[in-house]
Structure 1
């Protein structure tokens, strides 16, 4: 067992039990609500990309797909490692703030952290400037899993890194083919398909005819 991670887990969970009840409640809510907020950002990113270029729409569509891949890979690794949850394995640990998952729902890596890491990076790559929101969200999500007592620090650290790496790989390798699909969809005559893919940037206004001068009649 990783003694350093055990000690850090005990420090964080002891700290959690010393915080006000309203703060503990916020942590319990955030550990699940954060996933929903990432979903809302995916929808906002897609809606925003409808008036953007084909690359922007391709990245917006790939963001939730990359996050799903991050979750699948995390779950596959979890089933191979079979690490018991710290809320059962760490001697002297305080009771978790949320129910300890049953045996068989293994601890390493954290699926929540993998999803958060993938979503944060995928959104940052598809939506300029949003990294200032998504990275703190992901870090808080990962920390909250230790705070409520259901993961070791190394679970969430690896989960974040795994999810982030998967997001980068998926977006870098799949943008070109998805961009081609977006361009095909936008040029089709199917109304619902065009609505979903967006019409892209509005064409610029036509240039003033040659020879016409401002104020001329």
Structure 2
């Protein structure tokens, strides 16, 4: 099917909250001096979330086996949530705002017609990270939640997504990330216990102080 035909068949999400989207992109048009920093930050935000997961793993090295299992399950649960969101994205087939509202102001270039909008992939990763960290470390989860709010706003600001695309990411990624984290951690916990007792991976799974306390 030609690209232009795909665009015509795609769902028009502007009928849901197009006016709110336009209000945000009008703000982007009026704050052009912020365009480049926000466009950079919307991608860098995911890097900070990855750092939070690394911090969670590092702290889990001093905690029990269940905590380490949740730390290792976190990135897998994020990938799971992203995969589910991609399936939903193909099923809904919502056209990007730049195709439904071409008269609006856009910071980002318009993606290809087959690159759909609902739900937001960036927001999905951010929400799933915060949800997975909630099971591991509440302070890191709170920090991730702040970055998630920022990520959601920037996705609309640059014109890549409608507000409901971000909300959809929240509704999809939260239960998927929580359920997959709990399931994966439960499945991995016996293996983590064995690997922490001995083996080449032990230093990655348990801190020196924890090893000493275990030996005593």
Smaller-chain TM-score bracket: 0.7 to 0.9
Query: Contact 1:142/1:160 (CA < 8 Å) preserved in 2?
Result: no
Tell me the equivalent position of 2:60. Answer: 49
Q: Structure 2: how far apart are the matches of 1:158 and 1:62?
A: 23
Asked if 1:102 corresponds to 2:112, the answer is yes
Query: Contact 2:56/2:140 (CA < 8 Å) preserved in 1?
Result: no
- 1:56-205 equivalence runs, <5 A: 56-94=67-105, 96-188=106-198, 190=199, 192-198=200-206, 201=210, 202-203=212-213
Query: Contact 1:117/1:161 (CA < 8 Å) preserved in 2?
Result: no
- Per-residue CA deviations over 1:39-97 (Å, capped at 9, x if unaligned) read 11211211221121101101111111110001100111111111110011125312x11
Structure 1 residue 129: Cα displacement: 1.8
Tell me the equivalent position of 2:4. Answer: none
User: Greater helix percent: which structure?
Assistant: 2
Q: Structure 2: how far apart are the matches of 1:31 and 1:18?
A: 19
Tell me the equivalent position of 2:3. Answer: none
The higher radius of gyration belongs to 1
TM-score (norm 2): 0.87
- Per-residue CA deviations over 1:149-204 (Å, capped at 9, x if unaligned) read 0111111110122111111111222222211111011123x2x2112222583428
Q: 1:34 aligns with which of 41, 45, 67?
A: 45
Spell out structure 1 runs of 4+ moving beyond 6 A.
none
Gaps of 5+ in 1: 207-217
TM-score (norm 1): 0.86
Tell me the equivalent position of 2:22. Answer: 10
SS, match of residue 126 in structure 1: coil
- Per-residue CA deviations over 1:14-42 (Å, capped at 9, x if unaligned) read 01111251x22221111100111111121
Structure 1 residue 4: Cα displacement: 4.2
Gaps of 5+ in 2: 1-11
Cα RMSD, aligned residues only: 1.9
